Structure 1
Amino acid sequence: MNYAAVGSVLAVLVAIISVPMFLSGGIGLIYNESEAASFALIGLIYASVGGVIYLSLRRSDVTVRVREGFFITTASYFALGLLCALPLILTPAQVAMSFTDAAFESFSGLTTTGATVFTNLDEMPRSILFYRAILQWLGGMGIIVLAVAILPMLGIGGMQLFRAEAPGTIKDTSLKPRIAEAAKSLWLLYLGLTATCAVAYWIAGMSLFDAICHAFTTVAIGGFSNYDASIGFFNEPTIEAVAILFMFLAGLNFTLHYAALVARFDPSAYFRDPEARTYAAVIAAVVVLVAVGLAVEDGISLGSFREIAFQAVSFATTTGYTTANVDAWPLLCPVVLVLASFAGGCVGSTAGGMKIYRIMVVLQQSVREIRRLILPDGIFSVKLGQEVVSGRVIEAVWGFVTMYALLFVCLFTAVVIVSDLDIKSAFSAVAACLNNLGPGLGDVATNYAGLNAATKWLLIIAMVLGRLEIFTLLVLLAPRYWHR
């Protein structure tokens, strides 16, 4: 293990997280809030410590290889999650907040889960609301991707980091040759989509502050809102339409966005991509199933269909915004919504869940096995569009799905044992955190404040496992990793 490389990268990341501290402190100054000084002081400490450690290691060999890449990716989420909790403990408005609650909120932000322990958000200082939003925004594409775009300028290679963190394979060949340039391109695209979303929210009727914060959490598919009622606070169809559009776009593969809008401006690429088509079909199916479930029990109106469409997109993309109390709907409806979050968005998106690509591979492989039983001598392949999926990829996908299911069962069992939650609440809490969804059902439908500390830490582990797509973290538990 090249500890100098690990230390250098983590030092840069610690310095980087001073930026949201300073920005939140600036918001506090604008609104004359006492939290401004705490944010500024903590930001100064992190910038100084990160800078000193990096400068002390700059003459060392800081080459990042695959081994270091996996370790840095995992360590950065845990380290930054803990460090970003500090402002929530020390700010005057939050003096009664425990370390566990602060860590839960911080990890939920960085992993873009959106589960919260805060209540009375409507009265929360704006500096804290902004801080929560920008944490999700930085976590959206992965703070590691941001680091990969910056580290080459500091003399630290980043290819292994990008491979470990990037949520999916890079499909567009124009992005392959230079990973750092690819990261920069994707980050600029992410920034552009965020700016467009903020303008759209503002035009739709949000204040500038709300528009910026909600743009951060929409494009990150995070789901943090400035209000207890989430997007439902605004009760404005235009705002909900903007949210639906940008949640859907953020759930698509960002390299597909790059290919369709930047590399050669070919919007038809969206329609040719089999994963994008399946993603849209899944959301449409969720809308239909929930509408049928609601219509059978309570009937359906134009207003309720508006709520159905919003919640279907929000849950299927794992954003977690709400405009209605889905827990009060007939049981089929919330069950379908939570199950949709297991599929999640596309690979290479900011969404959580197992990802549509993997679900497609599993289903295609299942169909192939059935065809082999019928025609034992036949030769069948798994194809997505015109692409033949290799046996190695199929094995990896099955391994991921199996491990995902196993970890879900283990976490669910542990939560049932250590908490006082009923089965529905425990199931939805683990699903919401592992899938990086946020809101659950029952006792965790609105927030997680009532859970005990042990349950919250179990759910924090679920959030990180979901964000790192399991194997990045689990590889560190293999003894051979440490003996190489």
Structure 2
Amino acid sequence: MSLRVTLRILGLLLMLFSLTLAPPILISLLFDDAVWDAFVIAMAITFVTGAVIYLPNHRARKELRTRDGFLITVLFWSVLGLFGSLPLMLASDPALSWTDAVFESFSGLTTTGATVITGIDLLPDSIRYYRQQLQWLGGMGIVVLAVAILPTLGIGGMQLYRTEIPGPLKDSKLTPRITETAKALWYIYAALTLTCFAAYWLAGMNWFDALGHSFSTVAIGGFSTYDASIGYFDSAAIEMICVVFMILSSLSFGLHFAAWREKRLGQYLRDPEFRFFILFLTLLSLVTIVTLLVSRTYYDLTGVRHGLFEAVSIASTSGFGVADFSIWPGALPFMLFVAAFVGACSGSAGGGMKVIRILLILKQGMREVLRLIHPNAVISIKVGRMSVPDSVSQAVWGFFSVYVMLFFLMLVGMLATGLDQVTAWSAVGSALNNLGPGLGEVSNHYGNIPPAAKWILVLAMVLGRLEIFTVLVLFTPAFWRR
């Protein structure tokens, strides 16, 4: 592992990230909100820091190995979250503390959508835009974007791609060249964003709100330019557009690419993960809607609208809201929140444990039941027509075990800060699944929880975004041995 090569790439990526602060500066000048200087200072600090790291190591040349990819990915997300907090700290409004600014920055970049800010409607427009842009950049993964650039600079990108793309099957490439793969992903991501923007605008949003919400919708983020989220617009058309694009963005971008390349929508129906995900969303939505109508929480089609929207929003880990689901009757809040643990499909912008892992766990459970009946039978696990290697099955169970252990460790830490059980449990689950909204004290915002709890949640967000093992591998002695 070459430290100089790692520093060279880190410095380069940090300089590239500084350029993303130019749009908020333009927004600030356009709306004359008087906080443009905060973005200029943040851009200068970020660029200079990146240059200081890059220049002494700019001649370092070495092919990246897998271990380098892990280190660069974790360092970049960590450093990016810290530098991304600078505008939020430097701006006179909202004038966040360091802890709150870092929390908000990491929440944006990891597409968690948890916020410590209230009065979002009254914030400077450039800050409102910047929060949305953070989610859009974090949605597809800035590292994946960098993969398209690094090979042109003599730096291999496959190792970064493997550590960034979520899901248990990370070695599959859409195209023979990894650079083309990264570009294909971003073309699809950009196309979805533009289409979503146009749909929101035609449905009645102004261009500013349409752009901001298209960023966070396609990123499965959940940040909004209003405290009331999508509920601010009180529009059935906007809600249904949001539902459609939350579902589309929760699907594997590799599946989108395959359908586009083959020019066949049948590619979706042939995918087992897609079928399971749609079935799961359908059942969850039906149970939610029926419960709301039977309990007379709503008396008209509002129950159907809100039930469908919240079910898709929570299950896809988007976290948008049109109603406070935490006060819904019976077991609905708990059921919806647990649905976020399933999450979106692998290779998407969504969070959670991923649909394919849950599907594999269910199939493994069925195999063990069959083995009790037929002890000598050789029973393979199949996803569609493909047999899943035992190594993948073991990796899924390993991921699930570590996920549960980390969840309980962070839960104990949250309880130690003085939070009640419902708040602590839901806050950790929300952060680890990159969901956003929680229950109890964090059902609306996270501003009132202790600073120590916020740092625990920042760690949970990063672990969830990088799928745990990418981070934990850095803490093993074997990783640092030559």
1:187 matched residue in structure 2: 186
Q: Is the 8 A contact 2:168 2:392 kept in 1?
A: no
1:430 matched residue in structure 2: 428
Q: Residue 129 of structure 1 aligns to which amino acid in structure 2?
A: R
Cα offset, 1:299, TM superposition: 5.5
Matches of 1:2 and 1:174 in 2, distance apart? 26
Q: Which is further off, 43-52 or 184-193? A: 43-52
Cα offset, 1:411, TM superposition: 1.0
2:74 matched residue in structure 1: 74
Which structure 1 segments of 5+ residues have no match?
Answer: none
TM-score by structure 1 length?
Answer: 0.97
1:5 matched residue in structure 2: 5
Matches of 2:5 and 2:156 in 1, distance apart? 9
Matches of 2:168 and 2:175 in 1, distance apart? 10
1:290 matched residue in structure 2: 288
Match of 1:446 among 444, 451, 468: 444
Matches of 1:366 and 1:86 in 2, distance apart? 47
Matches of 2:336 and 2:124 in 1, distance apart? 32
Q: Residue 415 of structure 1 aligns to which amino acid in structure 2?
A: M
1:481 matched residue in structure 2: 479
Matches of 2:245 and 2:47 in 1, distance apart? 33
Q: Is the 8 A contact 1:35 1:92 kept in 2?
A: yes
Q: Deviations over 1:388-419 (max 9, x none)?
A: 11100000000001111111111111111113
TM-score by structure 2 length?
Answer: 0.97
1:22 matched residue in structure 2: 22
2:370 matched residue in structure 1: 371
Change in Cα spacing, 1:428 to 1:331, as seen in structure 2 (3 Å) is farther
What is the alpha-carbon root mean square deviation over aligned residues? Answer: 1.5
Report the count of equivalent residues: 481
Q: How does 1:20-419 map to 2 (within 5 A)?
A: 20-95=20-95, 97-168=96-167, 175-261=174-260, 263-298=261-296, 300=298, 301-419=300-418
Q: Which is further off, 220-229 or 43-52? A: 43-52
Q: Is the 8 A contact 1:171 1:256 kept in 2?
A: no
Q: Which is further off, 153-162 or 164-173? A: 164-173
Q: Residue 229 of structure 2 aligns to which amino acid in structure 1?
A: S
Q: Is the 8 A contact 2:139 2:349 kept in 1?
A: yes
Change in Cα spacing, 1:27 to 1:172, as seen in structure 2 (3 Å) is same
Percent identity over the alignment is: 47
Q: Residue 250 of structure 1 aligns to which amino acid in structure 2?
A: S
Q: Residue 66 of structure 2 aligns to which amino acid in structure 1?
A: V
Q: Secondary structure at the match of 2:288?
A: helix
Q: Deviations over 1:437-472 (max 9, x none)?
A: 001012101100001100000011110110000000
Cα offset, 1:63, TM superposition: 2.5
Cα offset, 1:180, TM superposition: 1.4
Q: Is the 8 A contact 2:473 2:479 kept in 1?
A: yes
Q: Which is further off, 308-317 or 51-60? A: 51-60
Change in Cα spacing, 1:402 to 1:172, as seen in structure 2 (3 Å) is closer
Q: Residue 265 of structure 2 aligns to which amino acid in structure 1?
A: P
Matches of 1:123 and 1:173 in 2, distance apart? 45
Matches of 1:422 and 1:292 in 2, distance apart? 31
Q: Residue 238 of structure 2 aligns to which amino acid in structure 1?
A: I
Q: Is the 8 A contact 2:297 2:328 kept in 1?
A: no
Q: Deviations over 1:273-321 (max 9, x none)?
A: 0000101111111112222332343365311110000000100100000
Cα offset, 1:266, TM superposition: 1.5
Q: Is the 8 A contact 1:290 1:332 kept in 2?
A: no
Matches of 2:443 and 2:163 in 1, distance apart? 33
Q: Is the 8 A contact 2:168 2:357 kept in 1?
A: no
Matches of 1:476 and 1:169 in 2, distance apart? 19
Cα offset, 1:5, TM superposition: 1.5
